[in-house]
Amino acid sequence: MSAAPIDLPRWANAGLVPLVSVAAALLVAGLVVIGIGESPLEATTLLLRGALGSAEGVSFTLYYTTNFIFTGLAVAVAFHAGLFNIGGEGQATIAGIFVALACLWLAPLPGILLVPLAILAAAAGGALYGFIPGWLQATRGSHVVITTIMFNFIAATLSVYLLVEVIGKPGSMQAETPEFARHAILTPMHELLAPLGLKLPATPLNSAFLLALAALVAVWALIYRSRLGYAIRTVGANPRAAAYAGISPARIIMVAMAISGALAGGLAVNEVMGVQHRLLLDFTAGYGFVGIAVALMGRGHPVGVGLAALLFGVLYQGGAELSFDKPSITRDMVVVIGGVIILFAGALDGLFRRVVASGLRFGSAR
Amino acid sequence: MEWVQTIAVVLDSAVRLSVPLLCAALAGLWSERAGIVDIGLEGKMLIAAFASAVAAFATGSAWAGLGAGILASVMLALVHGFAAITWRGNQIVSGVAINMLAAGLTVILGNAWYGQGGRTPALEGPARFPDLTLPLGTWAREHVPVVGTFYDEVVSGHAAPVYLAFGCLLLTALVLKRTRFGLRLRAVGENPAAVDTAGISVAGLRYGAVIICGALCGLGGTYLAVSQSAGFLPHMTAGKGFIALAAVIFANWRPWPALGACLLFGLLDAVAIRLQGVIMPGLGQVPVQAIQALPYLMTVILLAGFIGKSTPPKASGLPYVKER
Amino acid sequence: MTEPPRSAVKPAPAIELIGISKRFGPVQANKDVALKVAAGSIHGIVGENGAGKSTLMSILYGFYEADSGEIRVSGTARKIRAPGEAIAAGIGMVHQHFMLVETLSVVENVVLGAEGGAWLKGGLARARAELARLSQEYGLVIDPDAIVGDLSVGLQQRVEILKALYRGADILILDEPTAVLTPPEANQLFCLLRALKAQGKTVILITHKLREIMNVTDRVSVMRRGEMVAHVKTAETSPATLAEAMVGRRVLLRVEKAPRQPGPAVLEIAGLSYVDGRDCETLKDVSLTLHAGEIVGIAGVAGNGQSELLEALAGLIQPSRGVIRFNGQILNAAERNPARLRKLGLMHIPEDRQKAGLVTAFSAAENAILGYHDDPAFGPGPFLSHAAIEAHARAAFAAYDVRPPDPALKTAKFSGGNQQKIVLAREIERAPKVLLVGQPTRGVDIGAIEFIHRRLIALRDAGVAILLVSVELEEVMALSDRILAMCGGRITGERAAETADERDLGLLMAGVSEAA
């Protein structure tokens, strides 16, 4: 092992290394499946059939993909600024509170105003909750990683308090808000596509998916085609050069964290406005953490993030179907796969680059 | 003398609640003093809780549970070490991975083995650590006012892992301050190049610290599943690993202040439990969530330098690469 | 048994290196290096920055392993693969960047790695006694319980030396030991080195300061580009000879430049001071005036305030005192930021292009707009147009002969010279009024050096005011119209380029006052 960075061609760096590490992660998952006495081949078949074998399955897959696109992009934007935002869960939680308040308080407004305002509220809530750790790092020197971890817990207790004591549905056993008005929710995809003659089964997939696709394009344009994105990448790659270029790293840290938080807010838009139509406790359900895996696997590029989000969508939906047939393989398998992918594509990146580099050398030697 | 009894009961519960924090905080302290940032304390405690419950159930011995808990936690710690030390990977990323890995694996395996939604079967008899009554408790309660009550209620009557945890605290403070290993460890977290040029292996020291960190998380996790509870529940660590991280920051990476921080956070937790649903005169119902959020909030405020100052070991989080 | 006559057996050299080679990727840091250091002597190793001195000593100390070659210590061949083995062989090293743990006390630092047992108590007591003895013997007085981070740089170096002596080092390597010392501290150090020699220790002194070599060493070896080029007795050589050996028979730097009448003052600096984060005043009351169409060169040993001067003028650090006038207007604090200064026409080629002037992970085209990414020419509104950026880069790279002229190539893959041309093209093409230039040719190949020099002269002829900072005295002398010498953060003198001579400038750079 040497300290010299391993130089790989671009295609290998962007494509082969993530592929190899994902393959290795799935291999580990396969071993776990074997370990609990099931056949990985059968599990894979069931999983793929469940995720992609029917229109309903595909719809569910894309619904999950929506969540991962948002949380993955949130982590990716922060990465480009050299920051590690582990606070996606907390930012989405706060965004959920903002969405719920907007939908409940602004209910008298017509849908055409209410829906965009509620989406903006989600973005603002997430942005604010991302901005504060950014501001603390930029001006007070406290590290974003620790602050966002602590902020996740603070957001969770805050939402418990609000749901139990303040905005909870009176008389409900569950901690939840009353259901939003019909015009305050996002259109389900099957209703959206019905006028076009497309008949889809009723699933949670809703117009937030289109918003997620738009976010992919927008983040791509931001990072690779805008002046702000240029500044963000400069700060992330070389803060000293950024200062030399007249770019203020402190300002960029705050801006990038706010954008990252706003993107995490997309999770609330999909779940709260699109699916549950009310605010529930813990609706973030770990999507924020899987977003780290999505961003790492996607190498921070929107195309990669989109593909990685789709993979996790397949795993989530397929995993849900799989656990029907094989109760011993619960959806937590996806969490394991996410963890292993983070380990392989993130922390052990050096090892996998080495593996790919030796593979290429071996291949070209023959 | 009713209030003495009440305070003693709250303190007793604070001690119980702070033990897992103390174990994890000491674990984090060892790791970070050696320069390895560990946000995977939570995951290691969780896997230890699971492994210890499984082993204790299978063998009927709480001590076997402890062994298994420590082993499982050390295995995960070595994964972290492999990524962070050998491959110089990002330590935060690796920690996140370990937390997710543990959260997922424990539920899957628990569900596959016992089919109870991830729980392990309830532990009974010798499969759990019994509370140990220290000698002279009743006598002291009767003959020594106040102190006797505290002795009987707070000091006595805990399970073996509690006393082990406090033993580990003593040992940690002693080893760090007075031994060769401790000196080298303190040095490697500040300036690994100084250690390297003194002819000492940086990787060896760091692996040593990571293993100790794993063992301590193992103790904490085992305490949760085999002593405090009677078995494993999914996600039973519930953020304790992160509160421990906060305690380490609060303690400025020193052992005795870490005890103070853990006791404080344990006390907050005990008070929150006790105040649940209580109507305070003039205040109305106590917002228990506010008390629960306090450790996190205090950490953020401390880190931002609004109160006091925290200085982490200089080289923590940085992989050691020889300069050219 | 008969004892051989003393004169017949020469004692084995303390250190003998044979055929040492070391390569870092494409860089051959040491090439077939041979060296003999006599026991009980002070041996100097000189060479320019990057000549391979530090690498060689790191190999001797086991920090790196040589690709080939042999190390003999007192006549015995030794494999030194780790610092521990060097210590065992009686070699101690004082690194340029101290290897100290700042949060630990002096005595803890001294025993680190030589604790003599699992418990610290005994080892610390022994170290205290030994420190007391050493301070008696060599006058190395120090408080064993002081926290190292609180000590002055000079005292920290003392701790490093004590560390080596405590480990029983017979051979002491010092890497650029005076780079961070004040002149009195340096003199103290030399006294100590003589005392060590008197006790029979062997000292290897690495430096690029010839004055020190002449002052304290017995023998000198000269390195150039990874090779040993000369071994001489100090008494039999002169600074001039050594300097020539250090730089080699380099193409003499004679840049064709016509005499030129400078224009009006563009940049006026009065009483500029700067206090750094460690409360050290690294710029002291600096005043200078820069006219249109002249090159003012700053001559000085690295670390005497030149970097701070450049950074303060470029808006990267805020001076604690002083006034900067640009075209007669005082620049206030808000205006002294890099983006605003660029708009005014003050461009900056930074000393360390890899760390400050470029983002090596970016494509060459992206680096060609660093600092100018707000220019509307590069895209509509908030967006950047890749086509516009690439076209701009292509034109700039053609004009500055950047090779390969591929705007999409990652900047890290260009050679040092071509990286520098990317920076140069970026800053010069913007028609600066003032150009701050730091180390324009550091790590740049000969061909590119000539190109860069010609460009700078052309710029001067076009009426640009240029402030040049370089540690290469020859470069400063060849390019400048006026030369200012800096020492200890002050300007110690000014010479017109025609009348300046190396010796005279050297004295100014050493801080010897003009009156003396």
Query: Per residue in A228-237, pLDDT tens?
Result: 999 999 999 9
pLDDT for residue C257: 80
Assigned domain for A181 exists: yes
Chain B interface includes C159 (CB < 8 A)? no
- Per-position DSSP letters for C128-194, written without gaps between them: HHHHHHHHHHH-----TTSBGGGS-HHHHHHHHHHHHHHTT-SEEEEESTTTT--HHHHHHHHHHHH
Rounded to whole angstroms, the Cα distance separating C77 from B185 reads: 33
Assigned domain for A363 exists: no
Rounded to whole angstroms, the Cα distance separating A134 from A257 reads: 6
Smallest CA–CA separation between A6 and chain B, in Å? 12
Assigned domain for A366 exists: no
pLDDT for residue C11: 80
Domain residue limits, chain C: 39-66+77-247, 253-345+432-516, 356-430
Assigned domain for A104 exists: yes
| Comparison of pLDDT for B109 and A366, the residue scoring more | B109
Q: Residues C287, C267: contact at Cβ < 8 Å? A: no
Q: Residues C319, C268: contact at Cβ < 8 Å? A: no
The pLDDT of B301-321, averaged and rounded, is: 84
- Chains touching chain A through at least 3 C-beta pairs below 8 angstroms are B, C
> B324 contacts in C (CB within 8 Å)?
24
pLDDT for residue C515: 39
Assigned domain for A365 exists: no
* Most A CBs within 10 Å, among C359, C411, C430, to test the A interface: C359
Rounded to whole angstroms, the Cα distance separating B241 from B74 reads: 15
- Per-position DSSP letters for A308-348, written without gaps between them: HHHHHHHHHHHHHHHHHH-TTS-THHHHHHHHHHIIIIIIT
Q: State the burial class of residue A157 (Cβ atoms within 10 Å of its Cβ: 0-12, 13-18, 19+).
A: buried
Burial string for A340-362 (b: 16+ CB within 10 Å, else e) reads: bbbbbbbbbbbbbbbbbbeeeee
Q: State the burial class of residue C279 (Cβ atoms within 10 Å of its Cβ: 0-12, 13-18, 19+).
A: exposed
Q: Residues B260, B251: contact at Cβ < 8 Å? A: yes
> B184 contacts in C (CB within 8 Å)?
112-113
What is chain A's percent helix, strand, coil content, to nearest 5? 75, 0, 25
Single pTM value for the model: 0.90
Q: Which helix (H) or strand (E) holds B8?
A: helix B2-33
Q: Which helix (H) or strand (E) holds C227?
A: strand C227-233
Partner residue opposite C102 with nearest CB, options B190, B193, B198: B190
Please count the other Cβ atoms lying within 10 Å of the Cβ belonging to residue C447: 10
How big is chain B by its Cα radius of gyration, in Å? Answer: 20
Partner residue opposite A346 with nearest CB, options B88, B97, B115: B97
Percent of chain A with pLDDT over 90: 78
**Where do we find the tokens 């390895």?**
B36
Partner residue opposite C101 with nearest CB, options B178, B190, B322: B190
Q: Residues A49, A324: contact at Cβ < 8 Å? A: no
Assigned domain for B313 exists: no
Chain C interface includes B292 (CB < 8 A)? no
What is the CATH classification number for the domain harbouring A180?
1.10.3470
Partner residue opposite C115 with nearest CB, options B180, B190, B193: B180
Rounded to whole angstroms, the Cα distance separating B118 from B109 reads: 7
pLDDT for residue C251: 47
pLDDT for residue C250: 52
On whether the C253-345+432-516 domain is CATH 3.40.50.300, my answer is yes
- Per-position DSSP letters for B262-302, written without gaps between them: HHHHHHHHHHHHHHTTPEETTTEE--HHHHHHHHHHHHHHH
Edge-to-edge strand list for the sheet holding C42-46: C91-94, C171-175, C202-207, C42-46, C219-224, C227-233
How big is chain C by its Cα radius of gyration, in Å? Answer: 26
User: How distant is the alpha carbon of residue C198 from its chain centre?
Assistant: 31
> C163 contacts in B (CB within 8 Å)?
198
Assigned domain for B108 exists: yes
Chain B interface includes C112 (CB < 8 A)? yes
Rounded to whole angstroms, the Cα distance separating C353 from C73 reads: 40
Q: Residues C322, C295: contact at Cβ < 8 Å? A: no
Give the domain extent around B44. Answer: 2-128+135-303
Smallest CA–CA separation between C311 and chain A, in Å? 9
Q: Which residues of chain C have pLDDT under 50?
A: 1-2, 4-8, 251, 514-516
Q: Which helix (H) or strand (E) holds C344?
A: helix C338-344
3-state secondary structure of B321: coil
Task: Supply the DSSP symbol for C323.
Answer: E
User: How distant is the alpha carbon of residue A23 from its chain centre?
Assistant: 21
Residues 6+ apart with CB under 8 A from C190: C212, C215, C216
Assigned domain for B321 exists: no
What is the CATH classification number for the domain harbouring B65?
1.10.3470
> A296 contacts in B (CB within 8 Å)?
93
Q: Within 13 Å and on the Cβ side, how many CA atoms surround C477?
A: 15
For chain C, how many residues are written? 516
List beta partners, residue C321: C273
Residue of C nearest to B191 (CA): C101
- Return the C-alpha torsion angle A224, A230, A234, A237, nearest 10: -10
**Where do we find the tokens 């990727």?**
C25
> A240 contacts in C (CB within 8 Å)?
355-356
Domains in chain B, number: 1
Q: How many CB pairs under 8 A join B and C?
A: 77
Chain C interface includes B88 (CB < 8 A)? no
Partner residue opposite B304 with nearest CB, options A140, A296, A339: A140
Q: Residues C243, C210: contact at Cβ < 8 Å? A: yes
> A247 contacts in C (CB within 8 Å)?
339
Percent of chain A with pLDDT over 70: 98
pLDDT digits (tens, 9 = 90+) for B29-79: 999 999 999 999 999 999 999 999 999 999 999 999 999 999 999 999 999
pLDDT for residue C434: 96
Give the domain extent around A205. Answer: 10-355
Residues C370, A4: C-beta atoms closer than 8 Å: no
Q: Residues A129, A86: contact at Cβ < 8 Å? A: no
3-state secondary structure of C292: coil
pLDDT for residue A249: 95
Rounded to whole angstroms, the Cα distance separating B275 from B299 reads: 23
Chain B interface includes A12 (CB < 8 A)? no
Q: Residues C101, B191: contact at Cβ < 8 Å? A: yes
pLDDT digits (tens, 9 = 90+) for A253-275: 999 999 999 999 999 999 999 99
Smallest CA–CA separation between C83 and chain A, in Å? 18
Residues B242, A335: C-beta atoms closer than 8 Å: no
Which of A 179-238 lie inside 8 A of B, CB atoms? Answer: none
Assigned domain for A360 exists: no
> Is it the case that residue B84 has pLDDT exceeding 90?
yes
Burial string for B257-278 (b: 16+ CB within 10 Å, else e) reads: bbbebbbbbbbbbbbbeeeeee
Q: Residues A268, A73: contact at Cβ < 8 Å? A: no
Domains in chain A, number: 1
Which of A 72-91 lie inside 8 A of B, CB atoms? Answer: 84, 86
Assigned domain for A364 exists: no
Residues A347, B90: C-beta atoms closer than 8 Å: yes
pLDDT for residue C417: 84
pLDDT for residue C254: 66
Chain B interface includes A34 (CB < 8 A)? no
Chain C interface includes B171 (CB < 8 A)? no
Chain B interface includes C172 (CB < 8 A)? no
Q: In CATH terms, are C39-66+77-247 and C253-345+432-516 the same topology?
A: yes
> Is it the case that residue A2 has pLDDT exceeding 60?
no
Rounded to whole angstroms, the Cα distance separating A267 from A93 reads: 9
Question: What's the CATH code, domain C39-66+77-247?
Answer: 3.40.50.300
Residues A244, C360: C-beta atoms closer than 8 Å: no
Residue B140: pLDDT band (50, 70, 90) is: confident
Rounded to whole angstroms, the Cα distance separating A351 from B85 reads: 12
- Return the C-alpha torsion angle A225, A227, A233, A238, nearest 10: 140
Assigned domain for A89 exists: yes
Assigned domain for B201 exists: yes
> C64 contacts in B (CB within 8 Å)?
322
Residue A173: pLDDT band (50, 70, 90) is: confident
User: How distant is the alpha carbon of residue C137 from its chain centre?
Assistant: 33
pLDDT for residue C211: 78
Partner residue opposite A332 with nearest CB, options B104, B113, B287: B104
pLDDT for residue C514: 46
Assigned domain for B21 exists: yes
Residues C120, B178: C-beta atoms closer than 8 Å: yes
Dihedrals phi, psi of B323, to nearest 5 degrees: -80, 150
pLDDT digits (tens, 9 = 90+) for A34-85: 998 899 999 999 999 999 999 999 999 999 999 999 999 999 999 999 999 9
Rounded to whole angstroms, the Cα distance separating B272 from C148 reads: 45
Q: Residues A292, B39: contact at Cβ < 8 Å? A: no
Q: How many helices (H) and strands (E) does chain B have?
A: 13, 4
